Amino acid sequence: MTDKPKRPKDANQLAKFITDLATGEASEDDAPEKAEGQRKGGLKGGRARADRLTPEERSKIAKKAAAARWRNET
């Protein structure tokens, strides 16, 4: 996790946020956070996908991930 809050990705929202920071109307702590509903969906998604996959599919995905990790090591 990062220590700093994420800034808006939308260009207009980011511009307004930066303007508010410059004029003192907002602080770094006022950056918008993810909605709680999005977080709940993200927490459920991985488990639901794992339950849906067959053992062979899970093994194939795990092997591909392990190969990628070893390939990127220096």
pLDDT in tens, 5-27: 667 778 888 888 888 888 888 76
Distances (CA, A) of 27 to 32, 54, 64: 11, 48, 43
Whether the CB-CB separation of 21 and 29 falls below 8 Å is answered with no
Taking the whole predicted model, whether its pTM rises above 0.75 is answered as no
Residue 67 has pLDDT above 90, yes or no: yes
How do residues 32-41 score in pLDDT, each as one tens digit? 565 666 777 7
- Of 71 and 40, the structure prediction assigns the larger pLDDT to 71
- Of 60 and 43, the structure prediction assigns the larger pLDDT to 60
**What single-letter DSSP state applies at residue 24?**
T
Per-domain residue ranges of the chain: 11-72
Whether the CB-CB separation of 33 and 47 falls below 8 Å is answered with no
State how far Cα 39 lies from the chain centre: 9
